[in-house]
């Protein structure tokens, strides 16, 4: 999103745990460890809005997830509160809901069923953002991103795919809708096969313009018949439901 998000602001402040090199025109770079509260405080100073895509983004052992996704989220919301930032777009994940079946459709009110420590940490992010909305009025869009890649890589991603352009449209909608509140929205393109119902997020005004449908035949042709006894085929979280010590 680095290039696309420049259209949304005068100055785009970027941050990562690792060195991002030189800032380009219209950018600032603040290297920060999310688990370091002082570093996060400095990162958030003077920001008008936060698009939080940091942290561990796949299933992983508990310790790094605790540091970046749990303590890191607390540090981020404390920094937002202290600096008066009023809007956050939080990259949540479909893995908050990974143990729903691929034969089910979930909406924003379906109870979370995380498929691992990663999904659990995203459910925590959704909860802490709700607390900071209820107490301090910091609005957050919890975007349960499906699979954002140039193309769907497998049959599961026909349901979860989110094009880069639609992801940018979605972030833009979250940043610009007049009243966001604390909202949960599924981040996918306009895919005919879908496990997600966004009828409770109409106020955000997101309209996907892309669809996995154009890739469907090719994906079917290059992938084998699914083994219906495989949990990765049964559950929405796909292979994530089988990763790690759980």
Report helix angle 117-136 to 72-83, nearest 10. 20
* Contact criterion met (CB below 8 Å) for 188 and 160: yes
The least CB distance from residue 220 to ligand 15L, in Å, is 18
Which entry of 74, 77, 100, 118 is annotated as an active-site residue? 118
* Contact criterion met (CB below 8 Å) for 219 and 154: yes
Number of helical H runs and strand E runs in the chain: 8, 6
Active site residue 164: no
The SS3 of residue 72 is helix
Q: Which is nearer to ligand 15L, 116 or 180 (CB)?
A: 116
**Rounded CA separation 212/180 (Å):** 27
Q: Which DSSP helix (H) or strand (E) runs through 240?
A: none
Residues that bind ligand 15L (CB under 6 A): 57-58, 93-95, 145, 147, 160
The least CB distance from residue 9 to ligand 15L, in Å, is 24
Q: Which is nearer to ligand 15L, 94 or 194 (CB)?
A: 94
* Contact criterion met (CB below 8 Å) for 79 and 44: yes
The least CB distance from residue 60 to ligand 15L, in Å, is 11
Residue, CB closest to ligand 15L: 147
The least CB distance from residue 94 to ligand 15L, in Å, is 5
Q: Which is nearer to ligand 15L, 160 or 198 (CB)?
A: 160
Q: Which is nearer to ligand 15L, 47 or 72 (CB)?
A: 72
Residues with a catalytic annotation lie at 118
């Amino acid at each position: 999103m680095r290039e696309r998000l420049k259209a949304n602001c005068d100055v785009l402040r970027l941050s990562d745990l690792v060195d991002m090199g030189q800032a380009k025109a219209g950018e600032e770079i603040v290297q920060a460890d999310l688990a370091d509260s002082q570093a996060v405080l400095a990162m958030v100073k003077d920001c008008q809005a936060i698009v939080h895509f940091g942290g561990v983004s796949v299933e992983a052992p508990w310790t790094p997830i605790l540091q970046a996704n749990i303590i890191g989220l607390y540090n981020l919301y404390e920094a937002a509160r202290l600096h008066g930032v009023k809007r956050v777009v939080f990259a949540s994940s479909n893995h908050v809901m990974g143990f729903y079946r691929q034969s089910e459709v979930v909406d924003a009110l379906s109870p979370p069923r995380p498929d691992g420590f990663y999904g659990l940490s995203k459910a925590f992010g959704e909860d802490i953002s709700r607390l900071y909305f209820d107490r301090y009025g910091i609005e957050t869009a919890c975007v349960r991103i499906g699979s954002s890649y140039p193309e769907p890589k497998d049959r599961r991603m026909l349901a979860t795919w989110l094009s880069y352009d639609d992801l940018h449209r979605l972030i833009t909608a979250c940043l610009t809708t007049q009243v966001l509140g604390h909202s949960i929205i599924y981040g996918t393109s306009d895919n005919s096969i879908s496990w997600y119902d966004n009828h409770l997020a109409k106020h955000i005004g997101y309209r996907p313009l892309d669809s996995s449908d154009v890739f469907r035949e090719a994906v079917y042709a290059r992938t084998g018949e699914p083994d219906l006894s495989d949990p990765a085929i049964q559950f929405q979280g796909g292979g994530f439901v089988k990763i790690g010590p759980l």
